[in-house]
Structure 1
Amino acid sequence: MTESTLTESTVNASTASAGLPSVETITQLQIDTVAAWHTGPIENTYDDFLELVCRQHEFNYRLWHEEDIARSPTADDVRIATVKRAIDKLNQQRNDMIEKLDDAITERLAQANVRPESGARINTETPGSAIDRLSIMSLRLYHYREQLEREDADAEHKSKVAARIALCQQQHADLSNSLQELLADIFSGKKQHRTYRQMKMYNDPSLNPEIYQA
């Protein structure tokens, strides 16, 4: 993982007292569990903030594989309907966990007595959202590497996959660095931190007309 040492040390210094793990620890959890869950049971053996990271990551893991099923040409209408409902539920849970991650950071900021500076700006993406994107990227990298190892794939397919892996690795490193910088700014008071509520309407029986009119 090609993350900036200087940025990482800055983040560690400003967040360690608040009990927040490093970005490197978070991304390694995501990489390790994707590999472990493909060969064994889905388990969450982590504590505190990392337990939340792992739980959020699990919903992405389950979503990934349900989305694969939904696109299978052999899936009949009943199977697709079942999978679609599972995807809706998992996506709601995934978004709920993004909020929980951001709420947990708010709690740690309060515990560390960190206050944003006057005029501190708000980022367009929260740390929870960035962690979610890194989770998805770890899944993408794992499955692209599976494609690279396919015995039935020709050289052209493997060349295309190798190029995409290189691009995904660069994006993963870029996003990791951006998250490090964002956390450093938040815990130093240079940026404000807020939880952005998803407020999904389609799963709420009182807001989705297809549900309450039925």
Structure 2
Amino acid sequence: MFSNSAFRIFEESIVNYHIKNDVNQPFNNPYPETDIDHLLYRKNWIDTVQWHYEDIIRDPEIDPVKALELKRKIDASNQDRTDLVEYIDSYFLNKYQSVQTLPNARINTES
């Protein structure tokens, strides 16, 4: 089932992030670029780094210059996340484009 596979990939991403537990560590995606698993792993990695960015910026003692640098990283991360969600949406749109909808089917716009 797709949900089980996605959950496993999300868990793998989190575990791999916490090996170094550093927002500046290099990103290494173990899945082929042509696979949905690649997009899911990358999306969850972005989310994981983002959560840690947000923890860092909440520090009341953070240097204002470092806070501004981090704010710009958060903004860039948000844009990367938004773009990636669009890719994931496109994947599903392409995958299911030939499915005929039933007359009473409800339309959902979020992946």
TMscore range, shorter length: 0.7 to 0.9
Q: List per-residue Cα deviations over 1:51-93 (Å, max 9, x = no partner).
A: 1111111211221111111111221110111111111110111
Task: Give the equivalent residue in structure 1 for 2:103.
Answer: 118
Q: What is the distance in 1 between the residues matched to 2:47 and 2:66?
A: 20
- Percent of pairs with identical residues: 30
Gapped regions of structure 1 (runs ≥ 5): 1-11, 13-21, 128-214
Task: Give the equivalent residue in structure 2 for 1:186.
Answer: none
Counterpart AA for 2:74? I
Q: Would you say 1:67 and 2:54 are equivalent positions?
A: yes
Q: CA deviation at 1:99?
A: 1.3
Higher-RCO chain (CA-CA 8 Å, sequence separation at least 6): 1
Task: Give the equivalent residue in structure 2 for 1:27.
Answer: 7
Larger Rg: 1
Q: Contact conserved, 2:9 with 2:41, CA < 8 A, in 1?
A: yes
Q: What is the distance in 2 between the residues matched to 1:126 and 1:29?
A: 20
SS for the counterpart of 2:96 is helix
Q: List per-residue Cα deviations over 1:163-212 (Å, max 9, x = no partner).
A: xxxxxxxxxxxxxxxxxxxxxxxxxxxxxxxxxxxxxxxxxxxxxxxxxx
TM value normalised by structure 1: 0.45
1:83 equivalent among 70, 81, 87: 70
Task: Give the equivalent residue in structure 1 for 2:42.
Answer: 55
Q: Contact conserved, 1:70 with 1:83, CA < 8 A, in 2?
A: yes
RMSD: 1.6
Equivalent residues, number: 104
1:107 equivalent among 86, 91, 94: 94
Runs of 4+ aligned residues of structure 1 deviating over 6 Å after TM superposition are: none
Q: What is the distance in 2 between the residues matched to 1:85 and 1:36?
A: 25
1:39 equivalent among 19, 22, 42: 19
Counterpart AA for 2:36? F
Q: List per-residue Cα deviations over 1:108-163 (Å, max 9, x = no partner).
A: 113xx21212242112x622xxxxxxxxxxxxxxxxxxxxxxxxxxxxxxxxxxxx
Q: What is the distance in 2 between the residues matched to 1:80 and 1:115?
A: 50
Gapped regions of structure 2 (runs ≥ 5): 21-25
Q: Contact conserved, 2:17 with 2:45, CA < 8 A, in 1?
A: no
Q: Contact conserved, 1:63 with 1:90, CA < 8 A, in 2?
A: yes
